[in-house]
Amino acid sequence: MSLETILVTGGAGFVGSHACKALAAAGYLPVSYDNLSNGHQDAVKWGPLITADLLDQSALAAAFTAYKPCAVMHFAGLIEAGLSVREPARFERQNVAGSAALLAAMQAHQVNKLVFSSSAAVYGAPQQVTITEDHPRQPANPYGQNKADIEDLLTGASEQGALRFCALRYFNAAGADPDGELGERHDPETHLIPLVIQAAFGHRPLAIYGTDYETVDGTCVRDYVHVSDLADAHVAAVQRLLAGGPNLVANLGSGDGYSVQQIIAATERLTGQTINPLHAARRQGDVAHLVANSALAEASLAWQATRSSLDQIISDAIAAQKRFVIQPQ
């Protein structure tokens, strides 16, 4: 009996590749569809890779024809919020138009189940410390607006009877595959934990943007969720849809917030290294607190963030950074 196939857009990227590993462990065949602008070919280990762009209609059609997926996981897109402010048209085309092209291809090939990699960026500045899904969507940058617009595309397709979907709004993806097969390798790297680890080993300097927020130590507080926990949630979501379950829009986070200074202190403790960060001005759009309430995902997907303690996240990230990024001195 052949395995059920899941088309994974962005399957060579950070979260997408971890999701592919989790899909394979659950008995599915992940087919990665990635233009490799941000992903890594060597991260595609559990199924075939189609190197193509979402805006390439013929390549999309060929992928659906060749592999006949029963569902899609959609991770592909540009993710750098700061860059989206400088290049909004590029983000709109790649993220929103690309998603619309994917939905059109799905409808043409009668595939009606999709799990979407959304983001807490749809919320913008939080109105409460811990965010639930009914918080207003008020994106603070074009990237967050892209995610909100794509959610609206999914809702519209669903209202027309063409789609059932799960949109998973995750907070700060972090950590790395505990088996050491995958890691975080963005270029440029913009995520705090790998930047802090790289600074600990002298790979690059580290800047703290703002030390005067109303937080425990004046630096921004964020909710970090282990990428393997995210991957498990995506598998649970696709299984929900394949079993006939209804649409779901849900947060994914650990429920705990840690400041920049707390991340630095934990990394110093776990590496035995001293970090001397530079202090810089606040960045436009940064908010003091951003922490998830994930009760809906826990109840709807029988999901728990089991690997998302801060020490586990940073320990796994250290091992991956040493293997994939930091060159031995």
- Do the bridges between strand 289-292 and strand 248-252 make them parallel or antiparallel, or are there none, so unpaired? unpaired
Q: What's the rounded Cα separation, in Å, for the pair 191 and 261?
A: 15
Which of 143, 213, 224, 258 is catalytic? The answer is 143
Segment 24-27 long-range contacts (CB within 8 Å, at least 24 positions apart): 26/235, 26/239, 27/3
Q: To 5 degrees, how large is the angle CA 228–CA 275–CA 176?
A: 10
Q: To 5 degrees, how large is the angle CA 83–CA 84–CA 90?
A: 105
Rounded-to-5 percentages of helix, strand, coil across the chain: 40, 20, 40
CA 242 to chain CA mean position, Å: 22
Q: How far is CA 324 from CA 1, 167, 176, in A?
A: 37, 30, 11
Q: What's the rounded Cα separation, in Å, for the pair 48 and 237?
A: 22
Token pair 């776990």: residue? 270
CA 139 to chain CA mean position, Å: 17
Nearest to 102 by CA among 124, 75, 139: 75
- Concerning whether 143 is annotated as a catalytic residue, the answer is yes
Q: What's the rounded Cα separation, in Å, for the pair 7 and 36?
A: 16
* Angle, helices 192-200/260-271, rounded to nearest 10 degrees: 40
Tokens of 111: 């595939």
For residues 171 and 290, is the Cβ–Cβ distance under 8 A?
yes
Nearest to 237 by CA among 281, 188, 301, 305: 301
Which residues are identified as catalytic? 143
